[in-house]
Amino acid sequence: SWLPRSDSTLFAAERAEAGDMSDPSTAQREIKKLESAGDFLQAYERARQAMAAEPADARHKYIAVRCLARSGATRQALDLYE
């Protein structure tokens, strides 16, 4: 028989699907996967989430700049870099 999942289970499933952005290695793996698929703007959004979760980690900013540049948004990439 089908039983509905609890809210906490749904939340956990959504987190697993979206990636746990509080874990830098998880965030970077997800971003790399998005970049490999050519989805640079979505990868940029994930990098921004990672930047918000860990503002002291410069890798996330670098990745965000790289994603913007690869998407063709060079002015925004330069602005973020500076």
Q: pLDDT of 14-61, one tens digit each?
A: 444 444 545 667 899 999 999 999 999 999 999 999 999 999 989 999
Burial of 51 (C-beta count, 10 Å sphere; 0-12/13-18/19+): buried
pTM summary value? 0.69
More confident residue, 10 or 60: 60
Q: What is the pLDDT of residue 25?
A: 79
Q: What is the pLDDT of residue 23?
A: 66
What letter represents residue 61's amino acid? K
Pair 65, 56: CB distance under 8 Å: no
Residue of 71, 35, 38 lying closest to 27 (CA atoms): 35
pLDDT for 13 beyond 70: no
Q: What is the pLDDT of residue 78?
A: 96
pLDDT for 2 beyond 50: no
* Angle subtended at Cα 34 by Cα 31 and Cα 38, rounded to the nearest 5 degrees: 135
